[in-house]
Chains A and B, each alone.
Chain A
């Protein structure tokens, strides 16, 4: 059962949407301050996308971040998920690009995040300059952590900034642990074909008192 006789597939439609979106992005980049309010012009991937293709941010709709926004977003991602001996940092696996894709989404569910994140990326840079006289990305890890500690605290004075930080944390962590490197870091070792399924190993059964 092949698809030769069927309706045209998505590719052409996506290409058109991408071109429309690209035009919108050029306009946005002329006035980065208003990016958070600029309506998304691009369309989604439609109801019949090619599922087997491996997509990356920017493949289906154009991205939004200016260079400055991208730098701040990247630095914030890495404060949230730093590298350690066993696994890479968030930016090393492109989580900041996912963040850009997320806030550039044409779907309604991401519209709120778009405004919040674009507004707050500017805010966090302003905060960094106010406290340490440098952009957030140029601060030391201790300085960055000091700002984030305040946002993460249950006593955070600026509740909106705090709720932004939690949302950004959730997206960063989710974006990270859904990559192969992140899966390894969290302890997911599936997605590997095998001739047999042996059930839980003895150590796992012992761990919960079943052996």
Chain B
């Protein structure tokens, strides 16, 4: 079973999955390894990471030195095509006029979805993150605990390959012994922050990222992941052997032709296709979930973008993994799974701000190669748990800090601000400019904070009453409103980053004291989740603890939509762990003939 065109659709599938990213990929992998016949619909075109990504290209080989444009909103060489916050023909709207209350919605219309483009940061949610109401008195407790998901975190990490160290941190969980790949050595800036950050209570630890630092153990891991399933073991071992470990060059956001880092195709879809149990239909824009008179899902109506014709894919079970907001849109356009009235409610995103400074101690440092694993090797986890036990800092949860540091490949803005740093009142040029550029290059260190967001009544989405996209499908209208919790968190974040940078001898040029200005707009972090949250009962949530919709028993959610809140951790690893757990439950339900 391969990548197909609409005319090659089979009459019926066991499961139809919408979306080929982290959630859809994991679901397809888990199901097809167990012999379930799966169809996956993807709105974008096929994409081959082995031949289409520009790993070693320098900016001068791209138009405009690779700078961001409306066509490539993360820059020319970023591994995203037909993607962005604004896509021609695919509008969405915001209910409020004020920019501060806008939500920006990133769509990634390509095979593998957003897994083509991300930092590969793979942190587990901690025990408190699943129980925010119990812990901080706000938001909703998830209907699952960390212990429910821990075995699936282990499985996902073994499957995709995650480097990191077990540091014994509270609420930033360790993995089981033998699960993690070795963490790479830290860079100078990361080590320097590790030493001097202690003065302000910032602990620098190895980060966890989905990048192979050595070949995967193709002998033992497949046996652990698929006990008693010789075929799955063989397929997985073959795929693991096809992956090379990191060669310590190039930015992971460009994609990885040697398969050292995780993307959905590299890890999930290749073995799933090799099983013979997966058909993938690209260029298929899902319109709605069809249901029969008994209220059971029967399949998906889609637009074949190559012909403009509408088609229908039939399945005994439907799984939505189109990206949280796109899946919510499908539910709303189908008019299903919404007896609670909660579809579209409780959208959350990581609460982010950033700050950087010039670190004089780095000037004149001996030149060396700091590319490393194409992204950060370290981070600052949230450790002020005691201080914020009862949200007495003014916000629930916390935040971790991600580094931007090092002697990275120069971009067009590489000398920005150089005159001020050099203490020159005039604009530097000539030989002096070349000298100063060399002196200051690599001396900038910055941090971006990723913080907890609990659901509030002001952040939700609904169908726009009039606007439709180019295929005539009604679009989403967003409502967005920060509460004091997020603004207080960002205020704390800005102060903490400033303290940290100053502890490193850095001079922060223009600190932003207004949190409403420092906070990144909703959606711009591209961590949006929720909209079909899981819960303990059908009145207050859309799905049960297995991401199965309360109202439509054979309809499941496998992306970020069932998240009941955003932790101070990045969502992708948790999306995959939830999807694997959901898929196990789905197969149990099929076996028991419940669906």
A residues at B contact (CB < 8 Å): 1-3, 5-7, 44-52, 54-56, 59-61, 79-82, 84, 87, 93-94, 98, 101-102, 105, 107-110, 145, 148-149, 151-154, 162, 165-166, 169-171, 173-175, 177-180, 182-183, 185-201, 203-205, 207-210
Contact = CB atoms under 8 A, between A and B. Distances in A.
Interface of B: 3-5, 45-48, 51-54, 56-67, 69-72, 76-77, 79, 81-84, 87-88, 111, 184-188, 191-192, 195, 246-250, 265, 269, 273, 280, 282-283, 305-306, 361-362, 364-373, 407-416, 418, 425-431, 433-434, 437-438, 441-442
A194 B60 CA distance: 23
B410 A188 contact: yes
Of B57, B63, B248, B441, the most chain A CB neighbours within 10 A belong to B63
Contacts of A60: 63
Of B246, B282, B410, B415, the most chain A CB neighbours within 10 A belong to B410
A195 B215 CA distance: 12
Given A107-B70, A148-B430, A187-B438, 7 more contacts: A55-B61, A56-B61, A80-B430, A94-B60, A169-B433, A193-B248, A197-B248
A107 B62 CA distance: 15
Contact of A6 (B60, B282, B433, B441): B282
8 contacts: A1-B273, A51-B77, A61-B63, A105-B69, A152-B427, A183-B410, A190-B408, A208-B365
B433 A44 contact: no
Contacts of A55: 61-63
B64 A5 contact: no
A53 to B, nearest CB: 8
Of B191, B369, B408, the most chain A CB neighbours within 10 A belong to B369
Contact of B60 (A5, A179, A208): A179
Given A54-B57, A148-B429, A197-B248, A48 B82 contact: yes
Nearest to A154: B425
A68 B56 CA distance: 35
A30 B282 CA distance: 47
Contacts of B77: 51
Contact of B188 (A162, A179, A205): A205
B48 to A, nearest CB: 6
Contacts of A188: 407-410, 441
B437 A186 contact: yes
Instruction: Say what secondary structure dominates the interface of chain B.
Output: loop
B426 A199 contact: no
A207 B364 contact: yes
Contacts of A87: 434
A192 B374 CA distance: 12
B59 A7 contact: no
A204 B58 contact: no
Given A6-B46, A185-B434, A210-B192, A166 B366 contact: no
A170 B60 contact: no
B20 to A, nearest CB: 10
Given A145-B430, A187-B367, A98 B46 contact: no
B54 A51 contact: yes
Of A44, A101, A193, the most chain B CB neighbours within 10 A belong to A193
B206 to A, nearest CB: 12
A210 B204 CA distance: 15
Of A48, A93, A203, A209, the most chain B CB neighbours within 10 A belong to A48
A173 B433 contact: yes
A23 B373 CA distance: 46
Nearest to B254: A51
A174 B415 contact: yes
Given A84-B434, A191-B56, A7 B48 contact: no
Contacts of B63: 45, 55, 59-61, 101, 105
Contact of A199 (B45, B48, B83, B185): B185
A44 B412 contact: no
B46 A52 contact: no
A5 B3 contact: yes
A177 B437 contact: yes
Given A44-B70, A173-B437, A190-B370, A3 B46 contact: yes
Nearest to B4: A5
Given A49-B76, A173-B415, A174-B413, A197 B185 contact: yes
A44 B409 contact: no
A44 B62 CA distance: 13
A12 to B, nearest CB: 15
Contacts of A189: 367-369, 407
Given A1-B46, A1-B48, A204-B368, A178 B65 contact: yes
A2 B76 contact: no
A193 B61 contact: no
Nearest to A151: B427
A88 to B, nearest CB: 11
A107 B31 CA distance: 45
Nearest to A196: B248
Contact of A47 (B59, B87, B368): B87
Contacts of A47: 71-72, 81-84, 87-88
A45 B82 CA distance: 12
Given A1-B111, A49-B72, A174-B415, A6 B427 contact: no
Contacts of B47: 1, 3
B430 to A, nearest CB: 6
A49 B83 CA distance: 12
Contact of B361 (A49, A153, A162, A208): A208
A164 B244 CA distance: 48
B58 A178 contact: yes
